[in-house]
């Protein structure tokens, strides 16, 4: 392992925001072709998300989209672009043009996810110590 925490030959993580594992249904609206795809959000950050789609996604990067999902009872509809294509069903999106209100809601949601993850990790560590 290298000093920066990466394995040799592994690309450094250039994301400016931490990502959190989530499992939520999402609808991806492809604006240019007026189509909608359904899928699951796998990871979420303040800057974007990674999604696994049911149908294959056959667009390139920087395709404008709107993402519609509900997490923890809060509905979101966010503008974005395709940022990375991992395979025909797994795509990374970067959020664009987010209003202050939506950014505040997403920040609060991510803080809740982070707190829940920390609590879960604490419980696991305590259970490991008892074993």
> In this predicted model, what pLDDT tens digit does every residue of 98-131 receive, in sequence order?
999 999 999 999 999 888 878 877 776 777 777 6
79-100: b or e for each residue (b if 16 or more CB lie within 10 Å)? Answer: bbbbbebeeeeebbbbbeebee
∠ CA 116-122-125, nearest 5°, is 140
**Separation in Å, CA 131 to CA 80, 125, 127:** 46, 10, 6
CATH class as words, domain 20-130: mainly beta
Q: What pTM did the predictor assign?
A: 0.79
- Nearest in space to 77 (alpha carbons), one of 86, 68, 85: 68
């Amino acid at each position: 392992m290298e000093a920066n925490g990466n394995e040799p030959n592994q690309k450094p993580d250039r994301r400016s925001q931490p990502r959190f594992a989530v499992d939520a249904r999402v609808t991806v609206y492809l604006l240019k072709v007026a189509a909608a795809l359904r899928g699951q959000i796998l990871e979420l950050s303040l800057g974007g998300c990674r999604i696994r789609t049911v149908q294959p996604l056959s667009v390139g990067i920087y395709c404008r989209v709107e993402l519609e999902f509900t997490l923890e009872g809060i509905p979101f509809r966010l503008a974005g672009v395709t940022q990375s294509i991992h395979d025909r069903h797994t795509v990374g999106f970067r959020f664009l043009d987010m209003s202050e209100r939506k950014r505040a809601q997403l920040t609060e949601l991510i803080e809740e996810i982070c707190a829940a993850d920390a609590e879960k990790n604490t419980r696991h560590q305590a259970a490991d110590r008892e074993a």
